[in-house]
Structure 1
Amino acid sequence: MSANTFYKKSPLEVNTKALTLRDKRKIKVVSLFSGCGGMDLGFKGGFHFMGEEYEENPFEIVFSNDIFSAAMKVYEHNFGHIGIEESIADIDLNIIPKADMVIGGFPCQDFSLAGKRKGLTSERGRLYEHMIRVIKHCNAKMFVAENVDGIRTNKAHANLDSTALDTILKDFEKVGYNVQYKVLNAADYGVPQTRKRVIIFGVRKDISSNIFYPEPSHSEEGLLGRAWVTAKEAIDDLWDKIDDPYILNHTSKDYSKAKFYPGKKMQGNNRIAADKPAGTIRAEHHGNIEAHYRTHNIEDENNMEGWRRLSIRECARLQSFPDDFNFIVSASSAYKMIGNAVPPVMGWHIARAAYYTLMKEDYSGAILSPKVTTY
């Protein structure tokens, strides 16, 4: 049996919207592989998306890091916090402050179904080991790690039956953590995008063994909570507002002019659908981002002459970034960092479930406002 089957225990869920965390004690967080800050914004909270408030969370980001210079520039502009632009493999641990929580989406391209799937055989695929190094340095009470769903099937090595996830879970557990993972779909939390990600929670063994994940707030047909948010609901108001001075990252310079090629099956040669969440926004799209579901004044919807690729703001909306989050870099760099990001709204739900997991004692041993589901 695959080890990751063992680690995927019957999960506990908590209704993160029902949690009352506004006045709770703040937890210090070290953020790794921070990118432009999707996960960090979710942990911080205090933003609006599509008319809904995502209240401030009791976390304080005390350190952030990424090797991507453009992403760190965007991060600093939006958070007012200077991150360390350096490879995690080269960082001196002495500059990293102690913290109770370590979060990070270690690089995923080598595990992605859409990539070359080098997995743990590549240096980049083993960067999670440096996350472990930081977790040990901080003596963190808890960590949250994120990666693509493909990590569950990518083989650790060609001659082994175990997967990359098997190895990663065992390595996290070896340093003293109860470890669990769950595959979350961003659409289940109000993000207008179907984006499945493996979320690994680890809690130091001397603290707790019960781990809680966020209960879905949305479902495909709306049978459980609200229906998935569609692309049309998320971005339709932006269609005819290119170059509107009041909308960030939505000018004629903020969408790709890459050509479409009729009759060919190739990356970026398709459109999103209006009546369902967009597909996964990927970092590797670069200029070949999908086309909008609308067309420019051409009755034949299949005539690519009328197609326009999604703008930076439209991609940011589909990833649930608030409209005041400004990508102050080139379009190509912005597409990449948006595609790499954890959707902030999903990150917000993850953050609150992590807080509850770690701080259940704040509720005097009783589950008060949250609803907890087991299955």
Structure 2
Amino acid sequence: MSSRIVSLFSGAGGMDFGAHAEGFQTVLALDKFAASTATFAKHFTETDVKTTGIFEFNESKKNPYPKADIVMGGYPCQSFSMGGLRNPEKDERSNLFLGFAEAVNRIKPKVFIAENVSGLTKLQNGEWFKKQIDVYENQLSVKYHVFSMLVNAADYGVPQQRKRVIIVGVRHDVGNEFIFPEATHCKPSLVKKTGLLPWASHGEAIRHLPANPIGEYYERPHDPEGNFSWYFVSRNRRHRWDETAFTVVANFRHVTLHPASPKMELEWSDLANGWKQKWRFTDTYDHLEFAPEFPKLNPPRRLSWRECAAIQTFPSHFEPEGDLAEKFEQIGNAVPPLLMQQIMKKVKEIL
């Protein structure tokens, strides 16, 4: 019989795709974002999917949760993100982990898994991270051994640089140790030294997709500044075809460039008086070295939602619900399924 999962802040199901690949079964999924729950329900037809906030669901009745072996979720992270305002005291989302902890308290799973951005461990000298660990270790009705690790998805075969904190709790009667999966990939320069595989190419992950997927990527409508704002070109937004991608983000305006776009070069820099830079496009297309059959993208374009989903390692049949902005939001907020699958292999060893 498959181990049962309650998936909180479930989003488009990134964690669940990874868990189901290892034979787990999600019995309940909660998310406040209607487009996400519509996406989840379409892909996980046997799961009870509810569109609700965690606190509202916790208050709905005495114990609304089914029995489950695992509770997992990536509670919203904007207040801890390097790209956010980073002022958690004034952001109510900072305390959503308490709703997650309350669910753990009620379900008493054998294992719980929480995911958050890397900035959580650094913000205010790690005080918000310590606060969460203290709740999980000392304030639940059942005792858990709690383990955490900062992981980079690229180290596990995901063609993307994506650093996240993973927190795993193991119920005392189940075990006293959790060993995170060892890296399978590394920087190309370290391959000979480590014997690991080189980081995966994001160009190879998306080369099978159409070069001009009309309607699947963001374009600035009728803007005199052109398709890319001053903010967008204030940094290099393009990685080479043979490299991992930048982190896939949730805002479709800030999604980075397809590697078949022309190279960017630094036009000017004034970091001494702030962080301002100006990058410009060149006439060089270095992707032809790796995929000569792939067209030159002129004009350059951002990655499409389908390409972002492939870089996140969603399965090929995955198609999110909602409008274009909502599709990107779901994909950018997800845990890469391939990364989650590696973690769930270790969970299976405990169970």
TM-score (norm 1): 0.77
Match of 2:174 in 1: 207
Partner SS for 1:34: coil
Q: 1:1-375 residue pairs with structure 2 within 5 A? A: 25-45=1-21, 57-80=22-45, 81-91=47-57, 92=60, 94-155=63-124, 162-174=126-138, 175=140, 176-221=143-188, 222=191, 223-240=194-211, 242=212, 251-258=213-220, 259-261=226-228, 270-283=237-250, 285-295=251-261, 300-301=283-284, 306-356=299-349, 358-359=350-351
For residue 66 of structure 2, give the secondary structure of its aligned residue in structure 1: coil
Q: Percent identity?
A: 33
Structure 1: state its 5+ residue gaps.
Answer: 1-24, 46-56, 156-160, 243-250, 360-375
2:320 and 2:330 in contact (8 A); partners too: no
Decide whether aligned partners of structure 1 residues 32 and 275 sit closer, same or farther in structure 2, where only a CA change above 3 A counts: same
Partner AA of 1:300 in structure 2? D
* CA positional deviation for 1:236: 2.2
Contact 2:14–2:335 at 8 Å: present in 1 too?
A: yes
**Bigger shift: 94-103 or 61-70?**
94-103
Aligned residues: 307
Larger mean Cα displacement after TM superposition, 114-123 or 229-238: 114-123
Distance 2:20 2:232 in 1: 41
Partners of 1:262 and 1:304 within 8 A in 2: no
Which stretch of structure 1 is more off in the superposition, 286-295 or 254-263? 254-263
- The alpha-carbon distance between structure 1 residues 116 and 304, as it changes in their structure 2 partners (threshold 3 A), is farther
Shift, 1:287, TM fit? 2.6
Q: Output one character per residue of 1:94-131: Cα deviation in whole Å (capped at 9) or x when no partner.
A: 33212121000011111111111122552211100011
The answer for unaligned runs of 5 or more in structure 2 is 221-225, 263-280, 286-295
CA–CA distance in structure 1, aligned partners of residues 170 and 112 of structure 2:
7
CA distance in 2 between counterparts of 1:128 and 1:145 reads 9
Cα distance in 2 for partners of 1:110, 1:266 equals 25
Deviation digits for residues 321-357 of structure 1 (CA, Å, limit 9, x no counterpart): 111111232211010110000000001111111221x
| CA displacement at 1:270 relative to structure 2 | 2.3
- Structure 1 residue 210 displacement after superposition: 1.0
Give 1:299 shift: 7.4
8 Å Cα contact 1:295-1:306 kept in structure 2: yes
Report the 3-state secondary structure (helix = DSSP H, G, I; strand = E; otherwise coil) of the residue aligned with 1:199: strand
After superposition, the CA RMSD in angstroms is 2.3
Question: Alpha-carbon deviations, 1:245-293, whole Å to 9, x = none?
Answer: xxxxxx411111134347655578722332210011111x223311212
Alpha-carbon displacement from aligned partner over 1:156-205 (angstroms, at most 9, x marks no partner)? xxxxx552111101110012211110111111111100101100010112
Q: TM-score, normalised by structure 2?
A: 0.81
Cα distance in 1, alignment partners of residues 253 and 239 from structure 2: 15
Query: Relative contact order (alpha carbons < 8 A, sep ≥ 6): 1 or 2 greater?
Result: 1
Change (3 A) 1:173 1:309: same
1:13 corresponds in structure 2 to none
Q: Secondary structure at the match of 1:287?
A: coil
